[in-house]
Structure 1
């Protein structure tokens, strides 16, 4: 089995803090999620997370106007310059201070950054083909110092909150908390002096130029909107006014009347004169300027709206709320949501894959169960039936039924076809369930609790409690059914693992004695082995048939890592991280995945006990437990600096006030929100073995074998070039051309060769195809079937592959399960589309046949004669011609 898994996507978190940025075409939205950036494709309904990560949470992002360079800055001012399309980090740089605003010039040659009350303008590093505006830089040339500071502007007396460039990139506006906005020029301009726009009573949030740059709009925190124009004094004589008397003056004032709510964000679209404002009560307003006519007012959140962004066409508005982790994209003209996503409010507790592998289910302390689509990365449904934290979730192998256990004392069953809860299981007394296991047939569900020592078993059909398995002398921490349904394995804090025969006549159990409290148990796919993790960091493997220990390993050194800010000991000696709290077998049972309350995920070989890979979940210093060594300068007389609540010293009153109601929050009330601990409460392998996911503090992290857009050549030599491949294709050597395209691993070239092979040559090419290329060939056919219009060609390829290599695909199911599932999904999609088109055509034909047609004179004559009309023959002969030549006359009859 391949073990070179790479990070591919981050689900479960859609927005943390910072600003949202649209791409130039307006189809993609960039959102900062912790220390990473996620890209949401709003047209194709997909999302992906960029592979590079900061050491702190990201505060500001900016995208170059040509769409190639992405600049991200974290809370401490560390910047990463990356290539957006290729997803590669190009350069790391420190701006030496927290950044409050960041903006590229429209021509792309400079970018402005606000560092407190200071503004700095830097030259944009050149990229190949992106240095049109820089005459002194060579296009595509390498730079020794990519970041060159161009100018520095110091005149504000408080933090600069917003920077806006003019359309010609000669001037820019800055808005500050010192109640003023200022106009700056990039280069010295003749007759221009930096101008101060003063008149607001609270901090100015933003300032913008109009489309013709004749008007400036400024908006402040108290909801005041000022219009500035270049005018003479209002009481001056028009005939005696000179150019020296004209200056920027307030020509109009407007106010947003929001009681007990302040303006938190605003955005302006100059070409359409649309102003969007968000407030601290979750309300946003849409106005058209300069008339200040209100277009929309809508409440979209229960907390502050932190940021708003408008795409280039002015149609889509993106809103982000960090308190609840919400991300919304709203089309204001049609008043409809393009995107509406929200992550878990509290930390996740468990996760599981669906049997088909295309869904991931997560549950958290906020009482919500979310279903995530692995292909798109979006949450497709959220269940809120539980009234307290959900601790465990498990799928039934047959049917789309999900079972969850919660601290509210209930176990629920959800139908994932109709998306509803259809069964609720409860115990005779109120218990907080912490573990769950489902029989493979889906007929029996078992749950364990930390409040009781019994294992409760219910019937799914009737919902009745069938039995309470007693035998443990401590709380039940983990449950797992064998995949063949023969045994139920339970682990407890009484240092035993018991194997139950649930369907036998006698409810006997065989205890397996451990050396410490049992934290987690997992059963291998062949139902012959169980993996047990204990509190002392040992991972042991037991035979279920013989009840004896087979192998074991010490994982304390592997899993321990990361020192919390309250630890008195070093990371190597801390006891809290030296055990595994979650285990998962791979689909073939050769490796086991283990995670715990640390920043590491370990991948072990079951047979040899060797550590195959060690994955670091996060390097984010905003989380507790990611550092190996603590900085002594962060220790104060009051304790660690990270635990000191500094909100009471905030300059704004609403930031100092805590408006949350006591007892109204779900989850752990004592859980830290400012600096949560890094941990891995759940891991799971996909059914294909090509990916695994981990529930972490950062979110739902997906690691995959197919995560790369990188260049990955296969059996490459000097003669294999794109030119030689095309020439080989022209010489009608189709198999060789296809193999050369596979070796180059170029998707456009492979697709071109695939579509150029004649249909009559497909069986011969497939018959001679080496087995080593079979997986790539199947993957290519499956992807082409989903997106290309060549329906018959794709089906011919697929039929030839299955006829010729069907035996290989059956014998090596573990290697080809993923691509076979892709092909099956593509065929099912094609079948559905063809049936839909056929149904539409049949309905259209029935409709056309049912339409009336004009009745001829002969038909009327026959009809009248059949009715016994003796004068029908004479009248019809006289008026035959006239009636036949007239338009719009005659009788209409239906088609038989």
Structure 2
């Protein structure tokens, strides 16, 4: 909070006037903007217009309101959240002073306690994961990079452009200081297509499993389905509007295609999950969660949907009827990830440091895995459903076996939080059974590691990123690994020897990367509101 206050103190009247001027221009108040510019002298202000993103004033006001909301929920003595995190409406935030806001939060907590509502255990998860998972400042450095990336965004955007744009800038940081990245590794600008239309950070992207269609989810409260098929509709998108429940934010938090690409499931910060057709038509609204939905997965058959929320609940949905099939409430804090093992059993993880394996129709977990010393960020089953991998803020990843009760391998070589994991599409019961099974782990220590899961041994440490790595994705043939970092770079590595084979430099921090089913394109989503599709034919 101290950092935010110092940053705000640096704003001058020139900065404020210029943001107001830009807002008037962007809102279409041309004459008013002209008059204001003349009277305030903004044309002589020491502000570079190319570094001011569209919507900057609105974004700054929104962040200020989020700060007020957080401040009203935080205990002034020790900085903790004493009770459940309470959302405040825009009207309350702009009409009440800080003391009145704190009083309002306290009254609502007392009312909830009297009504026997949800306890305060999830408050910290809401505050922390709202920042970490939704990009609202994943640490000081990441937040600074995000804001810088926004400033470098294009000043002109169109909702859907048929457009190719150079990735821009120099190549990514070299793998070793004395061995610069060879120029031939850099993707040519002509092989990069930039998709414009989102109005806030784009947090996730996912290719349809059956065609050249890409879904992206953003903090602007929309999911977009982009058509990447050659032809007159190339790069055009359908906009899936997530109208927020009551006064809660509608930021999209998770997306997942079903097995044949006919349906897309989305989750949002207001606690709603939705099912859409591939054409962007709303099929179902799933409204039983009372906290942000951070995880949403289809089972392989496509008849059930699994969701996990900050409200601690895991819900299995009948996808066709849009009704609750079963609720699991084993976790004591926010659920962060879920993953199906097969059509009927699945695993869940939480900020309570626990992992459960459950089966639809049974109330008691099949397995309970404990051992992490901090919140568990992600879990993934290997292609055979034998091994379960997990990663945590305790700087470790772990491998568990469905056949046992304890940790099989404790992977401890990362120096900071391990944010995400991915299994290679190789080994038994995979599309590439002749290749060995590997696990990739990505960390805030800027490295990615590849692990031999039979021996629990690191076979390659992929060095080259200079900021936290948020996403990794294996190519469908299992021979390459794409990584995306807040250093703005996409790297593609050879799984066989750990060498860097392609690089692409973006203009802002990267939240997610995804290979298409053919394995010739990588999509990446950025903090500057854009999505890039990179030709990666290797």
So what's the TM-score if we normalise by structure 2? Answer: 0.50
Paired residue for 2:275?
A: 413
The equivalent residue for 1:391 is 253
Corresponding position: 1:477 with 2:336: yes
**Residues 607-756 of structure 1 mapped to structure 2, 5 A cutoff:** 607-615=454-462, 618=465, 626=466, 678-694=467-483, 696-697=485-486, 701=490, 703=492
- Per the alignment, do residues 586 and 456 of structure 1 end up closer, same or farther by CA in structure 2, a change over 3 Å counting? same
Shift of 1:448: 1.1
Contact 2:240 2:280 in 1 (8 A): no
Correspondence for 1:593 among 408, 426, 440: 440
Q: CA deviation at 1:534?
A: 1.9
Aligned partner of 1:671 in structure 2 is none
Aligned-partner SS, 1:384? strand
State which of 374, 384, 389 in structure 2 corresponds to 1:531: 389
**Aligned Cα RMSD in Å?**
4.0
Match of 2:266 in 1: 404
- Partner residue, 1:366: 220
| 2:295/2:309 contact within 8 Å kept | yes
Matched, 1:352 2:199: no
2:114 maps to which residue? Answer: none
Question: Does structure 1 retain, via aligned residues, the 8 Å contact 2:389–2:397?
Answer: yes
Shift of 1:403: 1.4
Determine helix, strand or coil for the equivalent of 1:259: helix
> Shift of the alpha carbon at 1:454?
1.7
Report the alpha carbon displacement of residue 470 of structure 1 after superposing the two structures with TM: 1.3
| Number of the residue aligned with 1:515 | 372
Give the secondary-structure state (helix, strand or coil) at the position aligned to 2:426: coil
Separation (CA, whole Å) in 1 of partners of 2:490 and 2:197: 13
Aligned partner of 1:584 in structure 2 is 422
Report the 3-state secondary structure (helix = DSSP H, G, I; strand = E; otherwise coil) of the residue aligned with 2:274.
strand
Q: Please tell me whether Structure 1 or Structure 2 has the larger radius of gyration of its CA atoms.
A: 1
Whether 1:449 and 2:293 are equivalent positions in the alignment is: no
When residues 616 and 364 of structure 1 are mapped into structure 2, their CA distance, relative to the original with a 3 A threshold, is farther
User: Do the aligned partners of 1:440 and 1:485 also contact (CA within 8 Å) in 2?
Assistant: yes
**1:261, CA displacement in angstroms?**
4.6
The change in CA–CA distance for 1:704 and 1:359 in structure 2 (over 3 A counts) is farther
Distance change >3 Å, CA 324–CA 704, structure 1 → 2: farther
Shift of the 533–485 alpha-carbon distance from structure 1 to 2, 3 Å rule, reads same
Decide whether aligned partners of structure 1 residues 704 and 394 sit closer, same or farther in structure 2, where only a CA change above 3 A counts: farther
Shift of residue 455, structure 1, vs aligned partner: 0.6
CA positional deviation for 1:525: 0.7
Paired with 2:284 and 2:30, the residues of 1 have a C-alpha distance of: 45
1:579 Cα deviation after fit = 1.5
Aligned residue in 2 for 1:322: 154
Between the aligned partners of 1:507 and 1:688, the Cα distance in structure 2 is 38
Find the counterpart in structure 2 of residue 439 from structure 1: 299
Partner SS, residue 400 of structure 2: strand
Contact 1:693-1:700 at 8 Å conserved across structures? no
Distance in 1 (alpha carbons) for counterparts of 2:520 and 2:419: 33
The structure-2 alpha-carbon separation of the partners of 1:465 and 1:545, relative to structure 1 and needing over 3 Å to count, comes to same
Q: Which residue of 1 aligns with 2:31?
A: 259
Cα 1:445–1:554 change in 2 (3 A) is: same
Contact map agreement 1:303 1:321 (CA 8 A) in 2: no
**CA offset at residue 694 of structure 1?**
4.3
CA distance in structure 2 between the partners assigned to 1:819 and 1:583 by the alignment: 19
Judged with a 3 Å threshold, the aligned counterparts in structure 2 of structure 1 residues 414 and 475 are, in CA distance, closer, same or farther, namely same
Query: Are 1:342 and 2:196 matched, yes or no?
Result: yes
Measured after TM superposition, the shift of residue 384 of structure 1 is: 3.5
How many residues align? The count is 314
Contact preservation (8 Å) 2:424, 2:478? yes
Alpha-carbon separation, structure 2, partners of 1:818 and 1:495: 37
**Deviations 1:391-422, CA, capped at 9 Å, x for gaps:** 12222224432212110211112222x23332
Kept in 2: contact 1:303–1:324 (CA 8 A): no
1:692–1:356 Cα change, 3 Å: farther
1:193-342 matched pairs, under 5 angstroms: 259-261=31-33, 322-323=154-155, 341-342=195-196
Conserved? CA contact 1:555–1:579, under 8 Å: no
Distance across 1 between alignment mates of 2:462 and 2:235:
25
Which residue does the alignment assign to 1:828?
none
Q: Quickly say closer, same or farther: Cα 1:345–1:682, change in 2 above 3 A.
A: farther
Q: Deviations over 1:270-308 (max 9, x none)?
A: xxxxxxxxxx9x9xxxxxxxxxxxxxxxxxx8799xxxx
1:203-252 Cα distance to aligned partner (Å, 9 max, x none): xxxxxxxxxxxxxxxxxxxxxxxxxxxxxxxxxxxxxxxxxxxxxxxxxx
Pair 1:380–1:583, CA change in 2 (3 A): farther
CA distance in 2, matches of 1:485, 1:524: 15
| Aligned mates of 2:325, 2:443 — CA distance in 1 | 33
Shift of 1:260: 4.2
Residue 542 of structure 1, CA deviation: 0.7
User: Any gaps of 5 or more consecutive residues in structure 2?
Assistant: 1-28, 35-46, 58-151, 164-192, 245-249, 428-436, 496-500, 502-516, 522-538
CA distances 1:317-349 after superposition (whole Å, capped 9, x unpaired): xxx97257659579xxxxxxxx99416544443
The answer as to 2:283 corresponding to 1:425 is no
Highest RCO, 1 vs 2 (Cα 8 Å, sep ≥ 6): 2
Q: 2 CA distance for matches of 1:485 and 1:556?
A: 33
Is the 8 Å Cα contact of residues 397 and 441 (structure 2) preserved in structure 1? Answer: no
Alignment of 1:833-872 (within 5 A): none
- Is residue 2:322 matched to residue 1:463? yes
Q: Tell me, what secondary structure is at the counterpart of 2:31? A: coil
Aligned-partner SS, 1:681? strand
Whole-angstrom CA distance in 1 between matches of 2:468 and 2:199: 16
Q: 1:515 to 1:541 in 2, by over 3 A?
A: same
2:408 pairs, out of 524, 535, 550, with: 550
CA distance in 1, matches of 2:458, 2:228: 28
1:819 deviation in Å? 9.0
